[in-house]
């Protein structure tokens, strides 16, 4: 079996939503200390808390790029409340799997989106449960 699914290869070689949003409504940056990869997510949110645009910049491995690309497609046009529920597992499933040692790359995507949403909440004085933004620890 190939190491990476066709979906991973597609999103790695042709990533969606790459870039930066000037004057974004929320920005989240996370990194993995072990591999050194960094992911940054920019959100544009309208008055109804719908994510009207999302962009990412990832300095990392193929799985990190594919995960951020897939994650952005999954939350674009969705309400913030739905984006908050996006798990790394859903990203892995949408990518049709990642090798076990690469699962942490999808966790980075989940965390970057959550960090951007938290930033959006903070900027707008919106109350939230801090438990929602706890770091995730995975076994590998």
9, 18, 35, 90: the catalytic one is: 35
Examine residue 32 and tell whether it contacts ligand FES (CB under 6 A). Answer: yes
Return the residue of 9, 18, 35, 50 that touches ligand FES, per CB under 6 A. Answer: 35
61 counts as catalytic: no
Residue 37 DSSP symbol: -
- Strand pairing class (26-31; 51-59): unpaired
# residues contacting ligand FES (CB under 6 A)? 11
How is residue 138 written in tokens? 């995975």
Examine residue 61 and tell whether it contacts ligand FES (CB under 6 A). Answer: yes
Minimum gap (Å) between residue 61 Cβ and ligand FES? 4
Helix axes 103-124, 62-75, angle to 10 degrees: 50
Give the burial class of 7: count Cβ atoms within 10 A of its Cβ; 0-12 exposed, 13-18 middle, 19 or more buried: middle
Q: Which residues are catalytic?
A: 35, 105
**Binding stretches for ligand FES (CB under 6 A):** 32, 35, 37, 60-61, 63-64, 102, 104-105, 108
């Amino acid at each position: 079996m190939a190491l990476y699914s066709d979906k991973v290869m597609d999103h790695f070689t042709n990533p969606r939503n790459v870039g930066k949003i000037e004057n974004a409504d929320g920005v989240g940056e996370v990194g993995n200390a072990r591999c050194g990869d960094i992911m940054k997510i920019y959100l544009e949110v309208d008055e109804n808390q719908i994510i009207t645009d999302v962009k990412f910049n990832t300095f990392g491995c193929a799985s990190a790029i594919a995960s951020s690309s897939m994650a952005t497609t999954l939350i674009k046009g969705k309400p913030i409340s739905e984006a908050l529920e996006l798990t790394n597992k859903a990203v892995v499933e949408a990518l049709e799997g990642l090798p076990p040692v690469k699962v942490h790359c999808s966790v980075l995507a989940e965390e970057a989106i959550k960090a951007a949403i938290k930033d959006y909440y903070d900027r707008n004085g919106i109350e939230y449960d801090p438990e929602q933004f706890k770091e995730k620890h995975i076994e590998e």
